[in-house]
A = this chain, B = another copy of it.
C-alpha cells in the first residue's frame, strides 16, 4: 500500500529554500508589483523546483474568497443542461474559477439542502431553472451573489432567452403553414419559462388572429409528452407548441404509435433545441436557446457581481432565441389529431425545404 506522497511544500518551505520570509513568497505570487522583480523571479524559480502549489483552501480562509462558484441545475440527466454546463464551465475557467455542479433532482427541497452545504464554500451561485420559490432565492441572494437563469426574480439578476420572440417566430411559421389554432402543452407550474411562453403564445396568436389553447401541465419529460398525446386526441388540433423538446419528442412518439402522423396530421414545435432534436424522426422543429452562451453569460455576470459590480440592471439579460425549422412541422391538412384515413401526401422534400437554420453542434 503505497503511502500518499509526503505533504506538498508550503510557502514556508519555499521561503526557507529561497532565503526570504514567507510573507514575501506569498506576495510574490499574489501581489505582482509588491515585491522586487528579481526577488519574485528567484522565488518563483525555487517554488517551481520544489513543486510548490498554493493551497486554495488555505488561501480562502483569510481572504474569504474561494474562487469557486456553484452551478445548480434541476436535473443532470436532462440533456438541456449539457451545453449550459459547458458554457458556464468555460466562463468560470477563463476567470480562474472552479465550478461546483449541483443536481437538484427537480426538487426544491433538495435544492435548498444542497445549497445549504455549498453556500459557505462558494463566491457565488448560478441557479439554472431553480425550483425554489422566489423568496427562497432572494434569501440565498442575501448571503451570496446569485444569478438566475430562465427565470425572473425581483432584485436578483437574471439571464433569459427571448421567449416572446421565439414564440412569435414559431407562431408565424405555423401561421404561414396554414394552421389557425395552436395548442400549448404546458410544463411544470413552478417554471417561470412556462408562464412566459404561454403568455407570449396568447399574445402572438391574438395579433395574428389565430387561436391558442392550453393543455396540461405535464412533466417536462418524454413521458410527460406521451401523456399529453392522450389528452390531445380529445382536443383535436393541427398544431402543437410543447413546453420543451423532451415533451415534444414524447408527444410525437405517442402520436405516431397511435397512428397520427407528424407533420401530416399535426405539426409539433418544441423548445430548447436539445441534442436529440435533430436525431428523431421526423426531426424536431424547435425554438433554439443559445444554451452555451447562456451558461457563459450567467457566470460572467455572476463574477462581475462578486467583484462588486452593482446588480447589472433590474432588467434581465435577454439572449436571442431562434426558430430551427425541421421536419415536424408542415402544411395544415386536417384539423384533427385522430388516426389518418386519407393517403394523399404532401411531398416530403417540400415540407422540409426550410430545414435546419442552425445546425446541431457536435
How many copies of this chain?
Answer: 2
In whole angstroms, how far apart are the Cα atoms of A79 and B89 in the complex? Answer: 17
In whole angstroms, how far apart are the Cα atoms of A4 and B139 in the complex? Answer: 11
Taking a contact as CB atoms under 8 Å apart, the answer to whether A79 and B82 are in contact is: yes
- A101 proximity list for chain B (CB < 8 A): 85, 99-101
**Is A335 in the interface zone, CB < 8 Å from B?**
no
- A246 proximity list for chain B (CB < 8 A): 362
Size of the A side of the interface (Cβ < 8 Å), in residues, is 54
Please judge, given known A-B contacts A83-B77, A143-B5, whether A58 and B61 are in contact too, CB under 8 Å.
yes
In whole angstroms, how far apart are the Cα atoms of A361 and B221 in the complex? Answer: 10
**Is A222 in the interface zone, CB < 8 Å from B?**
yes
- A79 proximity list for chain B (CB < 8 A): 79, 82, 275-276
- A281 proximity list for chain B (CB < 8 A): 280-281
Nearest B-chain residue to A143, judged by Cβ: B5
In whole angstroms, how far apart are the Cα atoms of A246 and B360 in the complex? Answer: 13
CB-contact partner of A82 in B53, B77, B98, under 8 A: B77
> Scoring A residues 57 to 80 as 1 if CB is less than 8 Å from chain B, else 0, what string do you get?
110110000100000000011110
**Is A117 in the interface zone, CB < 8 Å from B?**
yes
Nearest B-chain residue to A83, judged by Cβ: B77
- A162 proximity list for chain B (CB < 8 A): none
Interface of chain A residues 26 through 70 with chain B (CB within 8 A): 53, 55-58, 60-61, 66
- A53 proximity list for chain B (CB < 8 A): 116, 119-120
CB-contact partner of A121 in B57, B85, B105, under 8 A: B57
- A300 proximity list for chain B (CB < 8 A): none
Please judge, given known A-B contacts A120-B8, A276-B276, whether A89 and B77 are in contact too, CB under 8 Å.
no
Taking a contact as CB atoms under 8 Å apart, the answer to whether B77 and A98 are in contact is: no
Taking a contact as CB atoms under 8 Å apart, the answer to whether B279 and A253 are in contact is: yes
**Is A310 in the interface zone, CB < 8 Å from B?**
yes
- A57 proximity list for chain B (CB < 8 A): 57, 60-61, 66, 120-121
In whole angstroms, how far apart are the Cα atoms of A119 and B56 in the complex? Answer: 10
Taking a contact as CB atoms under 8 Å apart, the answer to whether B276 and A144 are in contact is: no
Taking a contact as CB atoms under 8 Å apart, the answer to whether B142 and A2 are in contact is: yes
In whole angstroms, how far apart are the Cα atoms of A310 and B3 in the complex? Answer: 10
**Is A293 in the interface zone, CB < 8 Å from B?**
no
In whole angstroms, how far apart are the Cα atoms of A53 and B117 in the complex? Answer: 9
**Is A172 in the interface zone, CB < 8 Å from B?**
no
Nearest B-chain residue to A282, judged by Cβ: B281
Q: Shortest Cβ distance from A111 into chain B, in angstroms?
A: 13
Please judge, given known A-B contacts A100-B100, A120-B8, A311-B1, whether A82 and B76 are in contact too, CB under 8 Å.
yes
> Scoring A residues 168 to 196 as 1 if CB is less than 8 Å from chain B, else 0, what string do you get?
00000000000000000000000000000
Q: Can you list the 6 inter-chain pairs with the closest CB atoms, starting with the nearest?
A: A281-B281, A101-B101, A276-B276, A77-B82, A76-B86, A1-B310
